Structure 1
Amino acid sequence: MEDRLDALQGVPLEVRQVRTALTREFVGLLDLGDLPALSPAQRERAFLSRALAAKAAQLVSDCTAAEAAEAVVDGADDHGIDAVLVSPATAEIWLVQAKWSDQGTARLDSTTTQKLLHGFQRLVDLQHDRFNARFQRLTGRVTAVLNAPTLRIHLVLAALGDDGLSQGGRGLLAKAASEFNKVGEILDFEVLGVVDFHSAARRDAMPKPVSVTATLSDGWHTNSTPYQTYLGTVTADELAMWYEQHGERLFDQNVRYPLGPTNVNTAVIESLLTNPHEFWYFNNGITVLCDSVRADYFARRAQGQPVRLELANPRVVNGAQTVAAVHHAYGLRPQTVAEALVAVRLICLDGAPTDLAQRITQATNTQNHVEARDFAALDPQQELIRQDFALSLDKSYVLKRGEPEPAPAAGCNVAEAALALTCAYPDADLVAGFRQDSDVLWRRGPGGAYTRLFGSRPSALQIWRSVRLLRQVRDELATLADGLEGRGRVVADQADLLIAHIAFQLIGSDGIDEPGDEWEARLEATVKLTGVVLSTLTDRLNARYGQYAFLIRTFRDGQSCRHLVSDVLRSLERGTDQQTTAPRRPSRERRPNTVPLLVENGLISDGTQLVYHPNSATEKEALRHWLSEAPERYLATWVNDSRKPLVWAVDGRHYSPSGLVLRIWEEARWMERPVAVNGTRSWYLPGEGSLAELAGELLADAETAGDGPGGE
């Protein structure tokens, strides 16, 4: 089902990810044949409501997606029951009431509960003829289970919201359970909210664990203190079969995937094929982590005796190149490779500290050259970004070297993401630093850029749009360079990242992580200015440093880059040609973003005071001293301007919510500040909530007023 990005503005990230996951899992499985007259938007909402009911049934019963979809009975005459799942084997019935909300604000109240109880009563009273045709298909199974002596009935209330079940609704359910269970424990109830569905979406996006068998011959050793460890050898052909069966899944926790025919790997293959009996002496072996180990001895149960170890969720954290090289050699001469032994170190993580796997991985990767970028793959934040790409955008985010690269339209890798975020960063010093040493992107702490780029975990949408802007500016520069000669061509080639940085300053970060086509229109307008920026940069470069300046060194110097960016932006701002002005947000007839929505509805009066609240503990700690020096730094006054509604108490100038947060970060000299911010979540109306929350309430009210079919 097609995603309508413009309909997702202001929607929390978790809700967008649940929406994408439900669509991916249940499209084509759910019947919407009873809803022919609905508009596309209403039809999509009905689909999502039924998909939510199906997912709820799947979560509580562990059935398949197809079985869950078959259980959906939502529609006319459903009597408050959206899904009925029957298990004759266990004599269980699950009755699901689901409430979808596009904004993640669905509520489970007394009315919702009463509808479900009404349908439940009719079901147990065998009034099945009152239900719709979908339910009629299940009548035989329902009746049979109702007559079973071990009958259990589970009422499931599922809502895409985080308010939980109201006190009144919980009281109704408790009373019903108390009355029904007088003859035995038959009825219970369960409540599912947005947290449950988002957790399920994240689990579904993660790769499923594998298992392998390691056969250790005579002479192996084990140590149980402090963690269960096995040291021994396995035959090379057994190792080759691990890779044959599971491929690169074995290396999910490694810093990189196999790199192909490097010099080291070529030597491994040659050693296996020419002298397999001595391979063990010349190879460092592999290190494998696993979640659990089950030992199956061939004869006597004793250390050193032949044993077969079943490893649950194995990860080759050191030796990925060896495993891939062994597999390659095995494909050439299997009988020869079968004669070789490979040293293995097996470490069971059951009961170990949560960070042990990461520390082992970092410490053991030395046989092939490890780049600074490789260790970013171990950052849990990067895995969350990868999941965000998959769930929110249905795109790939490649973390490790050696992993197949996605097609340009299908995603990006972490290196391209880091470079795009570097160009988007407000300070041109990062771009200059990258020109000096590309590893600066992966360093943490003072002088490094990694924390500034990824510390606050930018959203997948923000990263993807940043990558696209960088790509399009570079493509435009490549086209322009073909028609240039001399200094102009050199600037186009050498200053591509600096020009992209200027483009990011022109477009601004407002709305970059909000779905919709408004930012897309600004992107297109900004890319069209690439030629103007290139020409202006060349002129400003000549004016400031002369026409004989050493360009390569100039673009590697942070101070020079900052001066040039400032010169170019001032020149563009003074320009009278329409093409040389920064792109403005286009007028829209579709659902507005947060600020236009608040202005349009007149929710906040002119002159109302707003307060700045840092959104994270890191941000709060970084700004605490600076803000406390002058309390007015926290304060801004609201004016009903859809572009710049905040007047800062410090300087009296007008800002957008995100623009003012970025200004505060800059004034506070927060060196580790993120690339962008959603400022509507940082400015609060005392006693009412953030700007984003106020807009969300408006959208929720509008949603309730226009409630379509399928939700009850």
Structure 2
Amino acid sequence: MSKLHVGYVREAIEERFGGLIDMSDQARLSEASRHQALLSRGLAALAAQIEHPCSDRVAASRVFDGQDDQGLDSIAVEVSTVRSRICLVQAKWSDQNKGAFGEAEVHKMFHGLELMLDRNFGRFNRRFQPFVPDIERAYETGTPKITLVLALMREAPLSDGVRELIRMKLAEQNQVEQMVEVKILDLRDFHRAILGDVAAPKIDAKVQLECFGQESTPYKAMYGTMTVPDLADLCEEHPRGLFARNIRDSLDESDVNLKIRRTLREEPEHFWYFSNGITMLCETVQPLGRALPGKVGHFQLTGVSVVNGAQTVSAIHRAFKEDPIAAQDGRVLVRLISLENCPPGFGDQVTTTTNTQNPIEERDFKSLDQGQLNLRDAFALKLNRIYVIKRGEAVPDPAHGCSITEAAEALAAASPNAQLAAVAKRDQNLAGLWEDDNYQQIFGAEPNVFRVWRCVELLRAVRAQLQDLREGLVWRADAAAFYGDLLVTHIVYRRLSTRSIEDPESDWPAELAKVPDLVRDTLSWVLNAIDEEYGTTSHIIAAVRNTERIERVVRAALRGLDSEKQAPPLNTDYQVAQAETRGRKINAVTTLVAARRIPDSTVLEYRPYSKPERREMAEWLAEDPRRTQATWSNEGGRYPLRWHADQEWYSPSGLARKMRHEAAGVDSSVQGTIRWFVPGEGSLDELALAVRLEQGNEPAES
């Protein structure tokens, strides 16, 4: 490809996004520099649009490139009850088709990801803030799948050093579960995207199916077995076009791919039985010569694309290259669906549906266990409640029962083995808990209905208290309260009197009454343990999902609780109330104005500080972007901010209070200096504190 193709992409970006992408922060740049910034942002919008199809206007609104973008340029969030997805894009435009992406960009990109995972949303700029509520909702549904997209206007592959650094960073993020992947979109992908299907290479191929069968109504399809060597050759010949409808370049070394390759190396004769097979869409499927069902058939395919089983094909290709002798005995089931005489959009339906069907899970087999059947009966007979054990059944109202999934979580948290709490947090489907050994540990051969229900009640009580606490927590404390629900439940359970938990006459409500105080103290000791054991920049997620780390945190927290010492106070940066108090200890405005720390006419950004604020103000702020900005003046005295929404002058705290009242009807005193930011530098509170420290002055009461 050439600069001609770069030109096609440039023209598409200018036409589609030129009037939609916010470029107001680039007003002082030269026209040429502004145009380059537009192309880079347009590339980020296009990349997010490729990963999450949407209108041009929506794609443009997803761009937050600029100061305090934290190494990321655009975002798309898809909240789902199955598994939510978050796409984060870093884009590099180049007129010469040489978009630079080095190790520094890798570090910035992953740093931004870590800030987002730690819920340190205040570090991101105003364009990012509207997406925070969706991100939090994605977190609430379980571990989201996070895709980091490198949108690069280039064709050359990344250097070995950069690719190795990405793999290392991915390994750090995925040490507990496969949560993060990296995808590379280059000139070919963008060229294909702007031209649509006509830009995708048309793949024609001849294939051989053993023991083939066919469907003729309502649409034509063939199915049969292909050999691993034949599939590997097909992938070798068409490494990109074969997956035009399905995947793009990925650095994700998934567990699925590794298992496929291992099977082909160690027991290739079993591969047909272990694999779900491959589905290919074809414009036409024509037999070559006489083809008798049940025999070997040869077929000419035009416009063929793998739409389901792309990982299988890629893994087959790689396994065959690594060990062709061992893998050559592998065989796999293949479906060839012809689009001849199909209605418009049928191919897209096939692609979507074949990739979203629910597979059989180990949990489904456990629902047949006699212990679960007995437990279901005991819930009805002894508790007059409902216990749901099969997927698809309606889950009862919390007061009227629970599901096998909730019971498994609660029992894992209450187990003497803290590692089971970590196993439960690794996967939202609790896949690790359904493994036979873990399942036996948490349920046992004959689970006691009173113990199961009371553990569920305890988990619910802990979660409710943590949810209440989170209203006043930010950053790492908020993350610990959210991700650490099972960890906290485990410690609380060990501090309660549970010897008679299986006794129907036990005074369990008296034990539950202890939960609120225990949760508050436990959370403080847990966060203190994580910070001391692994540092204040460590991942909260790792501490609650890694079996070794969770045991160390539990031991340290229990030592603190058993010592009967007062629970360590949370860092002031972790608490909304403490941050408000800290912000009032110095007169930030007076300090900043006296030092002329902020130049006149600097545009500041408002960023909601707490979870309640984000919940209450997100839509209101998004309705009018002017509400998020104010201009600074050193001549304004106590009222240095001129709000863009009404052009009136305010103090930072007065304006923050007014904004929350207008947005949500809440009229309460707030500290504006921790909410108004100088982009790229920090909040007014942080800047004022830095000035006083430079001057050798300790923060004093104002």
TM-score by length of 1: 0.29
Larger relative contact order (Cα-Cα within 8 Å, sequence gap ≥ 6): 1
TM-score normalised by L of structure 2: 0.30
Structure having the higher Rg? 1
